[in-house]
Amino acid sequence: MPPPWSPRSDLVTATLIVVGTSRRSTTGTAHVVLVAGKGGVGSTTVAAALSLAAARNGADVLLVSVDGKPGLGPLLGGQPLGPTEHVLRTFTGGGRIRGRTIPPEQAFGDYLDLKGLGGIVRKAVSATSLDMVAASTPGLEHLLVLGKIKELERTRAADLIVVDAPPAGHAAPFIRSARGLQAVVSNGPVRQQADEVAEMLADPARAEALLVTLPEETPVNEVIELATEVEDDLRLALRPIVVNACWPDRPGLALTVTAAARESGVTLPASARSALVGSSAFGRARLEVQREQLLRLATAYPHAAVVLPRMPTPRLMPHHLELLADALDHAEALR
């Protein structure tokens, strides 16, 4: 019996679709990469694969999970992530991956310390009162987390800081928080923080966003909207969009099973034929949807995109992540 899943070259060749050129020449030297996408598209996986690819190539990587996904640590071969950073994995050649979360309460406390307000307020300002402070200053929680990331960037805490941004409806407000607060708050430390974060986000040498989507209609619509907003309104440089979980194209499915067998010169037993007919019909329809959606993305957003292979498992393991990192490396080499 063959292994349930063996790495095959046809899955690892990520396709880099380049239609036109990137709006900015994203050199890939930015220190901070914000990875974002709608819930369920796999942006956390892509953040992990990106970290792995960079660390394997010798980079000192800090992976920050804003949402505190504990499973990220084990996926990268280390302990679950926590609020203090720890090394998840080291590589021969000097690269390593450290990981941590940034809980808003902690970012708030660190921020107060930084401004010399810590000691006095610490006792009074509990997590509940952060809720209240945050309520009266919308976007503050996001800004504090981004501010902490900016501090890490400013102190060169790593060669590359990969941020797994909050999913679903939260990705855009997260990235937008600095701008939003600039509009509401006219002076004081929050304004200063918002200015500094906005400055970092607008500098393509310091920060980029990497948006993740799936080859399906709704995710493609949403990533197009998000890309426009991030690039045009927020002036944040975009890496090529990553289309996650694409099945390898199988052009042979265009033929019926019988015609394909004839062309391949194979005599198919009836039981083999009937086993293939159902899966091929399903595959034909799904691959057609995938092709349509990739084309739609390329038309609506005529810039570079990277296609990552679908791993044939619902539960991603470290060796799958290696394959995804291979695919990202491959796409990088094509650029």
- CB of 20 vs another protein, minimal distance in Å: 25
| Least spacing, CB of residue 323 vs another protein, in Å | 13
Q: How far is the CB of 118 from another protein (least distance, A)?
A: 11
CB 250 to another protein: min, Å: 4
Residue 163 β-bridge partners: 34, 64
Tell me how far apart the alpha carbons of residues 326 and 330 are, in angstroms, rounded to a whole number. Answer: 6
Reference 328, options 305, 312, 301; nearest CA is: 305
Rounded CA-CA distance 64/32 in Å is: 10
> To which H or E segment does residue 179 belong?
helix 171-184
CB of 209 to another protein, least distance (A): 19
In whole angstroms, how far apart are CA 316 and each of 39, 45, 72, 324, 329? 16, 9, 11, 11, 19
Q: If we measure between CA atoms, which residue out of 321, 241, 247 comes closest to residue 285?
A: 247
Nearest residue (CB) to another protein, 28 versus 188 = 188
Give the pairing of strands 207-213 and 237-238. Answer: parallel
Number of continuous H segments (helices) and E segments (strands) in the chain: 13, 10
Q: How far is the CB of 53 from another protein (least distance, A)?
A: 21
| Cβ-based nearer residue to another protein, 84 or 265 | 265
Residue placing its CB nearer to another protein in the complex, 77 or 278: 278
SS3 210: strand
- Residue 58 CB, shortest distance to another protein, in Å, is 30
**185-189 CB contacts, 8 Å cutoff, 24+ apart:** 185/137, 189/115
The count of other CB atoms within 10 Å of the CB of residue 47 is 26
Please give the backbone phi and psi of residue 123, each rounded to the nearest 5 degrees, phi first: -65, -40
Residue 16 bridge partners (DSSP): 306
- In the complex, minimum distance from the CB of residue 270 to another protein, in angstroms, rounded to a whole number: 9
Closer Cβ to another protein, 87 or 135, answer by number: 135
Give the 3-state secondary structure percentages of the chain, helix then strand then coil, rounded to 5: 50, 15, 35
Beta carbon nearer to another protein, 168 or 205: 168
Nearer to another protein, 26 or 177 (CB): 177
Which tokens go with 241?
A: 């969009």
User: Which is closer to another protein, CB of 78 or CB of 166?
Assistant: 166
State which residue, 129 or 299, has the beta carbon closest to another protein.
Answer: 129
Least distance in Å: CB of 322 to another protein?
18
Closer Cβ to another protein, 286 or 335, answer by number: 286
CA atoms within 13 A of residue 160's CA, in its CB half-sphere: 28
